[in-house]
Amino acid sequence: MSTEINPGEKTAHLALPLRWSLLGQANRGAADTACTYDVDSKGARLVSSRAPRLGDLLMLERGRNKAICQVTWVADPTSDLRGQFAVRCVDGRAPWEEELRQAEEQYQPLDSEGLNRRHFGRLITAEQTNRRRRPRFHVEGQAEVIEGVQHASGIVDQISELGARISAGEILTPGTDFRLTLNLFDVTLAVKAQVKNLVSNARMGVEFQEIRRGDRPLLGYVLSRLRRRPVEDFVEVEVVSDRLVRAAAV
């Protein structure tokens, strides 16, 4: 399972208080409070002092709005994401529907120094970061066409806190801006990136420019796990070229 709550839909970082209770075979359990972390039209990532179990059915309440949701992901209790869990609504309208309608998916500059301080124990300068060896992974990726934009699938063989090296069916030219969605371990995050160079005209070296608001802790979580576990893992990649989007709109 992954934190990706509904692939392909707008995801907004919204902090909305609500109540949740466990639905059992006999009756509802005691109510607990939670706060949304990010939401889409059918699901959300929440944080609470008590986490349910994977697969549990919950009643979510926000004012008069109620919905039955199923738990699709629970964070590792020993990680920085402890207390977080993701749900998908299976009956009823999402209690955050109106707020989501008014919200926009936002990106913010990637603070790599902050990630280094928190997850690597000391400040690594930009020069030191460029010098140090980046973790390498054999990965599988996939790109989706959105509103007529060309699809491209690819493989990532390097990833770090600053960027990645990817191979894709559609090789983008240096300077191209695009969006990149990564599924690694049990989390999903999205960044805006730029192609910096081509390797043998088959792979792209890309640099992360911005990260989707709310996804910074997820990237830190991934980097922390990579630091403790330098082994191969599979990453799904979604690449959407902003340049192709603009061309399709002409």
pLDDT digits (tens, 9 = 90+) for 182-228: 777 788 888 888 889 988 877 888 888 999 999 999 988 877 877 76
Q: What per-residue confidence (pLDDT) applies to 240?
A: 64
Q: What per-residue confidence (pLDDT) applies to 179?
A: 83
Report the 3 state secondary structure along 3-69.
CCCCCCCCCECCCCEEEEEEECCCCEEEEEEEEEEEECCCEEEEEECCCCCCCCEEEEEECCEEEEE
Mean pLDDT over the full length of the chain = 76
Q: What per-residue confidence (pLDDT) applies to 180?
A: 80
Q: Which domains does the chain have, with CATH numbers?
A: 17-102 (2.30.110), 107-249 (2.40.10.220)
The DSSP H or E segment spanning 245 is helix 242-249
- Helix ranges (H only) for 72-215 are 97-102, 112-119, 126-131
